[in-house]
Amino acid sequence: MSDAGLLERRRKFYDEIAPDNLAPLWEVLRGLVTPEPRPQAVPAFWRYEAIRPHVLRSGELITAKEAERRVLILENPAYRGQSKITNSLYAGLQLIMPGEVAPVHRHAQTALRFIVEGEGAYTAVEGEKTLMRPGDFVITPSWTWHDHGNESDRPMVWLDGLDIPIVQLFDASFAETHLPGADAQPLARPEGDALARYGAGLLPVDWHPQAPASPVFNYPYARTREALERLGRSGDLDACHGIKLRYVNPASGDYAMPTMATFMQLLPRGFRGQRYRSTDGSVYSVVEGRGRTQVGEQVFDWGPRDLFVVPSWYPHRHEAAEDAVLFSFSDRAVQQKLGLWREARGNG
Structural domain boundaries in the chain:
40-345
Residue 122's pLDDT is what?
95
Give, for all 348 residues of the chain, the pLDDT tens digit: 678 899 999 999 999 999 999 999 999 999 999 999 999 999 999 999 999 999 999 999 999 999 999 999 999 999 999 999 999 999 999 999 999 999 999 999 999 999 999 999 999 999 999 999 999 999 999 999 999 999 999 999 999 999 999 999 999 999 998 766 778 888 999 999 999 999 999 999 999 998 999 999 999 999 999 999 999 998 889 999 999 999 999 999 999 999 999 999 999 999 999 999 999 999 999 999 999 999 999 999 999 999 999 999 999 999 999 999 999 999 999 999 999 999 999 886
Classify residue 242 by its DSSP letter.
B
Q: How far is CA 105 from CA 55, 158, 180, 307, in A?
A: 22, 18, 11, 27
The topology (CATH level 3) of 40-345 is Jelly Rolls (2.60.120)
CA distances from 226 to 78, 198, 219, 280, 329 (A): 38, 19, 12, 27, 20
SS3 state of residue 139: strand
Cα–Cα distance, 284 to 177 (Å, whole number): 31
Helices and strands, counts by H and E, the chain: 8, 22
Q: Is 18 exposed, middle or buried (0-12, 13-18, 19+ CB in 10 A)?
A: exposed
pTM value? 0.96
Q: State the pLDDT at residue 348.
A: 64
Query: In this predicted structure, what is the pLDDT of residue 179?
Result: 67
Contact between residue 213 and residue 256 where contact means Cβ atoms under 8 Å apart: yes
Q: What is the pLDDT of residue 347?
A: 80
Q: Number of C-alpha atoms within 13 angstroms, CB side, residue 180?
A: 0
Tell me what pLDDT residue 178 has. 77
Number of C-beta neighbours around residue 278 at 10 A: 21
